[in-house]
Every structure is written in C-alpha cells, then in structure tokens.
Chains A and B, each alone.
Chain A
C-alpha cells in the first residue's frame, strides 16, 4: 500500500507527500477545471441538439483507450514512487519511463484525433460543442505535456546520487495523477453524456 510508506516526523504527525505549494497549485487547477465542467454542462443544457449531434462525430473508443492509457500510467507512477521510497532507483526509473511513454502515447492519439477533426473541416469555431471540445482537451493536453516533461526529468535524475529529495518525485506523481483524474471527468462529459 502506498500510504504505508508515508513517514512520520519527530512529533508523530503525518508528513504529506509532495510540497504544500504543489498541493495548492493542484487544487487550484482542479477548481478551475471544475468551473469549466459546470460551464460545459450549462451550455449543453442550453443547446442540447447541437451538443448531442456533434458528440456523435467523436469516436468514444479513442476516449476509452486514452482513459485506460492514463490510468495505467498512474499505476506506473504509484509503483515508481514506492520504489523511490524503498530506495530502489533503478526500478523507479523503469516505472517513470513507462509512465512517460504512456503520456507520449496519449498525446499522439490526441493529436491524431485533432488532425482527423480538422481534416473533416471541424474547427473550434464550428459550433459551441467543438469550441469546448478543443479548449478543454487542449488545456488538458497542455497539462499532459507539462507532466511528460516532469516525468522525463524524473527519469533523468532517478539514478543521480545528488537527488535524495523524495518530495520532488512525489510532486511529479501528484501532478500526473491530477492530469489523470481531470481526463476521467472529461471523457464522459465530451464522449458519452446523453
């Protein structure tokens, strides 16, 4: 269990994984995305016909595959953090690398989906649904790309004896899990909602 390894300080209180600043950023980001989800649902209620007919042009299989890729990458990150806590940097490096590759895979699928849509003559200005689709998934993709850079950095420093700061690895992990959970909500909103 990941939580078992969370250390206790001298006073016996729990130490939180990752830096407090990172938690503030993560929760702030989640709040902003929460507002986006509300706005999307509101506009959907205002124009249900446009949203339902536009949604049908999306391929839900792509959404499912991307969700499974991100969930699997999150599992790899959990294992990587565990390995770091157990002082096994080589194992951690492999798991961070696998998560990194999952992130690359997600991005390639997403960009392919964008190019398909643009090839079909669908742009953000086509209608409200596609405006939300491109903005929400675009913002999320930006987070994925930042997460990929973070994971790549962690892969690079994993074997370095100079980096014993576990919180740095935990921060990368927390950020990646946030990217995962935002997609978990975006997937049904954009691809499946009826």
Chain B
C-alpha cells in the first residue's frame, strides 16, 4: 500500500516538476516580451533598466534549463560549477559591456 502510494507520488513528481519549471519559463518569456515592448509604449521606463531586466530574466531562464532540464544539480560538483560560472560570467559580461561601452 505504502509502496504503491510512494510510486504514485514519485510518478506524479516525474511529470509535474518539469512541467512546473516549463510554466515558469513560459511565463518569464511572455513577461520579457511584454516588458521589452512596454518600453516602446511608455517611454517613462528607462531603457537601461529595461535591458537589465531583460538580461536578468534571460539568464534566470538559462539557469533553470541548466539546473533542472540538463540536470546539473545532480552532477559532480566540477560540472555544476562550470555551468554556474558560465551563467554568472556571461550575464555579468554582457551587462558590463552594455553599461560601459558607449559611443
């Protein structure tokens, strides 16, 4: 009985957890699109803040994919560190170049 219940819960989590991650990714994509376009409609939003927001959301999504879909959270620590460093390094690199390179 308990074993069946355990299997059922385990089966549900196999289906539901990736679905929950996907829902967050889906919502974040729709929000990005709205957030990016909202600037065009309402000029009151600072373009730099909009870009920071868009880049942060993008790398939040990337991290979700790396950790949960690519299963880095269950990996040997070296692999996980490389993945996390890529996210932090590329995100901060883009933001730094965006902030300081101006013509």
Contacts and interface: CB of A to CB of B under 8 A. Distances in A.
Contacts, number: 145
Interface in A4-51: 4-6, 13-14, 16-17, 23, 27, 30-31, 34, 37-38, 41-42, 44-48
B15 interface: yes
B20 to A, nearest CB: 10
Nearest to A6: B74
Given A79-B18, A177-B70, A64 B30 contact: yes
Interface residues on chain B, size class: 35 or more
A137 interface: no
Interface in B1-53: 10, 13-15, 17-19, 21-22, 25-26, 29-30, 32-33, 36-37, 39, 47-48, 50-51
B94 A38 contact: yes
B103 A47 contact: yes
Given A14-B75, A60-B37, A79-B15, A188 B93 contact: no
Contact of A191 (B10, B36, B59, B68): B36
Mostly, the A contact residues are: helix
A29 to B, nearest CB: 11
A125 interface: no
A76 to B, nearest CB: 10
Contacts of B39: 194
B62 A181 contact: yes
Nearest to A61: B33
A68 B29 CA distance: 7
B52 to A, nearest CB: 10
A49 B91 CA distance: 23
A64 B33 contact: yes
A75 B18 CA distance: 7
A64 B101 contact: no
B17 to A, nearest CB: 5
A184 to B, nearest CB: 5
Which are the 10 A-B pairs with shortest beta-carbon distances?
A: A45-B101, A192-B36, A194-B47, A3-B74, A34-B90, A188-B54, A41-B97, A75-B22, A78-B18, A64-B33
Interface of B: 10, 13-15, 17-19, 21-22, 25-26, 29-30, 32-33, 36-37, 39, 47-48, 50-51, 54-55, 57-59, 61-62, 65-66, 68-71, 73-76, 79, 82-83, 86, 89-90, 93-94, 97-98, 100-103
